Amino acid sequence: MTFYLNPYGRRFRMQALANAMSELDRDFEPQVAFPMDVKATPDGFELKAYLPGVSAEDLDIQIVNEVVTISGEVKLERDARAEYLLAELPAGRFHRVVSLPAPLDSEKVEASLESGILTLNIPKVEEAKPKSIKVTQK
Q: Identify the pLDDT of residue 23.
A: 72
pLDDT digits (tens, 9 = 90+) for 53-78: 899 999 999 999 899 999 998 888 88
pLDDT of the residue at 126: 81
Closest CA to 64 of 104, 102, 36, 100: 104
Domain boundaries, the chain: 31-127
Alpha helix ranges (H) inside the chain: 7-27
Question: What kind of architecture, by CATH, is found in domain 31-127?
Answer: Sandwich (2.60)
138 against 26, higher pLDDT: 138
Which is more confidently placed, 121 or 33?
Answer: 121
84: confidence class by pLDDT, cuts 50, 70, 90? confident
Residue 98's DSSP bridge partners are: 68
Specify which residues 50 forms β-bridges with: 117
pTM of this structure: 0.68
Strands (E), 15-109: 36-40, 44-50, 59-64, 67-74, 92-99
C-alpha span between 61 and 95 (Å, rounded): 10
